[in-house]
A and B are shown apart, each in its own frame.
Chain A
Amino acid sequence: MRSSDGHVFVLALPFVVVAVFAAMAWVDRRRGVNAGPGFFARNGWPVGLFLLLAVTLWALFMIVLPQLFMVEMSFRPKLPPAAMGGARDVYTLENYQYFLFGSTTSTASWNATHLNAFWRTILASILVTAGNFAFCYPLAFYMAQVAGAARVRLLLLLLIAPYWLNEILRAFAFRVILGTSGVLNKLLFGAGLIDAPVDFLGMDVGLYAGLSYAYLLLMIFPLYNAIESLDGRLIEAARDLGAPWWRIHKDIVIPFAKPGIGSGCTLVFMLTSGALAAPLVLGGPRSLWFTPIVYDRFYQAFNWPQGSAYAFILLLTCIAFVMAVLKLGRLNLGEITR
């Protein structure tokens, strides 16, 4: 298949899917399934039409099509503009091959730099997610079940206020704190605990701290929501039956909050593995995070097809990982989006 046909296919795909679903809904309605008032009957023609068009166009042009074109692009070779659409513009796996072997032609040796960065990114994202959970769970539990309303409002304010700053500024704040001549080093030095500055940034402390902090709220809120809806009497009932505190969390709170935990961890994991600002600002000289590599494919190497392939690999791996974990936790997507 030539890539110009591919463009047509990609462009048509979402419309076909939408049309098929619309047809299915129409058939169901004809058969009398779900016999409530129709969408247009409920909203009126003008509003209904506007909603339908707005949502469809937004979803198609802002979300679906760009992604699909990225996927499509990842299967094409890097060509000078003149050669596009020419004889060499055919679908190929060379961008994926490059990720694995560091060359578009040979498979002799692994692409160690990129593969290492990739696995490090996944592993570090898992650790950051776990750390985030460990920090947020007690806090969310405290806010949802223990603290009074005034205390909760104060905590929420403290949690949210720093996020009024943008992500880059927050990342730089960590540099200011953790740099070799930063606040923390000065404090430790002043207290006589160290006699030479510690290179926290080189040790990636800054990177992990920044990454953990960046998506804290996305862990807190799903957890808080889930634990909030737990009837405090269940906790008391478990205690009354003799359960010590850790058992109450293991048997009652965590199983109950599982959907919230699932969505919080999914969000944090996906966003951490795809984070760009924190790794760029806080990554030490030796640390290689995967997203800057993807970024470089686009803007340093000007190799958009390869960049797309890299981004797509990261996305697919993360999705597969999240799905596997959800499956292990016997959660389905419907539950975590509640």
Chain B
Amino acid sequence: MTDAVELDRMTVRFGDFTAVEQASLGIRQGEFFSFLGPSGCGKTTILRTISGFIEPTEGAVRIGGRDMRGIGANKRPTALIFQSLALFPMMSVAENVAYGLRVRGVGQRERMAKAEALLNVVALGDQAGKRVDELSGGQRQRVAIARALAVEPQVLLLDEPLSALDLKLRQHMRNELRAIQRRVGITFIYITHDQGEALTMSDRIAVMNRGRIEQVGDGRTVYEVPETGFVAGFVGETNALPGRVIEVGSGLAVVETAVGRLRGRNPKGLGVGAQAVLFVRPEMLHPGLDEADNLLSAVVEEHAYEGNLTHLACNAGGTRLTVLLGAAESRNPPVEGVPVGIGFAAADAFVLAG
């Protein structure tokens, strides 16, 4: 099956500034695909290029296998939900939803019936006659979704649609969006800088940094097997221990760091002498071990009990480490101020270029 959307070495420049560089990836039919990255990394630019508001400077965008160059935004089988929603204030809720059908020449009665059906899908059936500014933030959100779905796009593009909502509503809308996506079965391309959102909702995630796609994979892979230092640092919490590779072999590398020699996986095959950073997640660090692949001595400086989890801020000879304990582990936590051995497995650490 052809990919729903394919980016082929797509580069977008604004003058001298390169907003997106050599992006290549395929998004599958019916997939919930997220772009995750910090502010200004080019997420919106990618989305606007897919929807046709920006032509790529180099490379190509293909939708359903068809090259989109020269095809205007109004002719593409995509629908975009704007960061600011961009609902039409001069129209009622139902007219907003029906607008895409109106420009396609669908008759008044038919398009209103369809708008009503879609408003029911997003649980706004009783708000059809209201003005847009009479709705709450979450309701507006859903109107925007209904309006985009009305044109039956092959691909729905969502630009941080939940960023303006409060936490509770955001969580609710996450589930809602996922449910809507399953129901309509079309491809969703979702943009967010919230890694929790990306991890919970997406089939796959592309992590972006400064216009480049750093890694594409499902949430578990991106979290557990980061391919670059940026991904390791951006997705989830991590401890970064910089140093130099002094030994490699059987997929592992030993790094000379400020806290001693540490061993971790070497997915990128770094060679001896390379500057590198060893990344290890807080939950992979275990205090009170006498034996492990890696062992270092640290002092617990702070202790933050959060019920199901406990955060420890440790100091290993000047290097700060964060340790996360599960409920079972934290029954008898290390005492503050007393040196303790902290161990972790080589398989749980990654040595990546610094």
Give the size of the chain B interface in residues (CB under 8 angstroms): 25
List CB contacts (< 8 Å) of A229-248 with chain B: 231, 233-234, 236-244, 247
* Inter-chain contact B82/A247, CB cutoff 8 Å: no
Set of chain A residues within 8 Å of B53, measured between Cβ atoms: 236, 239-240
- For residue A237, which residue of chain B has the nearest CB? B86
Q: Determine whether A252 belongs to the interface, using a CB cutoff of 8 Å to chain B.
A: yes
For the complex, give the distance between the alpha carbons of A242 and B147 in Å. Answer: 12
Distance between B92 CB and nearest chain A CB, rounded to angstroms? 12
Decide if the interface of chain A is mainly helix, strand, loop or mixed: helix
* Inter-chain contact A240/B88, CB cutoff 8 Å: no
Inter-chain CB contacts under 8 Å: number: 62
* Inter-chain contact B82/A233, CB cutoff 8 Å: yes
Set of chain A residues within 8 Å of B151, measured between Cβ atoms: 241-242
* Inter-chain contact A234/B74, CB cutoff 8 Å: no
Q: Determine whether A137 belongs to the interface, using a CB cutoff of 8 Å to chain B.
A: no
Contact with A along B72-112 (1 / 0, CB 8 A): 11110011101010111110000000011011100000000
For the complex, give the distance between the alpha carbons of A241 and B74 in Å. Answer: 6
Set of chain B residues within 8 Å of A234, measured between Cβ atoms: 86, 88-89
Distance between A44 CB and nearest chain B CB, rounded to angstroms? 38
Which listed residue, B52, B78, B82, B90, touches A255 by the CB 8 Å rule? B90
* Inter-chain contact A239/B86, CB cutoff 8 Å: no
List CB contacts (< 8 Å) of B238-265 with chain A: none
* Inter-chain contact B84/A247, CB cutoff 8 Å: no
Q: Determine whether B51 belongs to the interface, using a CB cutoff of 8 Å to chain A.
A: yes
Decide if the interface of chain B is mainly helix, strand, loop or mixed: mixed
Sort chain A's interface into a size bin.
Answer: 10 to 19
* Inter-chain contact A240/B90, CB cutoff 8 Å: no
* Inter-chain contact B74/A252, CB cutoff 8 Å: no
Q: Determine whether A256 belongs to the interface, using a CB cutoff of 8 Å to chain B.
A: yes
- For residue A252, which residue of chain B has the nearest CB? B88
Set of chain B residues within 8 Å of A247, measured between Cβ atoms: 103
- A231 and B90 in contact (CB under 8 A), knowing A236-B53, A240-B78, A241-B147? no
* Inter-chain contact A240/B79, CB cutoff 8 Å: yes
For the complex, give the distance between the alpha carbons of A251 and B98 in Å. Answer: 13
List CB contacts (< 8 Å) of A79-106 with chain B: none
- A243 and B90 in contact (CB under 8 A), knowing A231-B84, A237-B82? no
For the complex, give the distance between the alpha carbons of A239 and B90 in Å. Answer: 16
- Having A236-B73, A241-B147, A244-B74, one finds 8 other A-B pairs with CB under 8 Å, namely A233-B82, A233-B84, A234-B88, A241-B100, A242-B75, A243-B74, A243-B103, A251-B102
Residues on A close to B: CB < 8 A?
231, 233-234, 236-244, 247, 251-252, 255-256
Q: 9 tightest A-B contacts by CB?
A: A241-B100, A233-B86, A237-B86, A255-B90, A243-B103, A240-B80, A239-B74, A242-B74, A239-B73
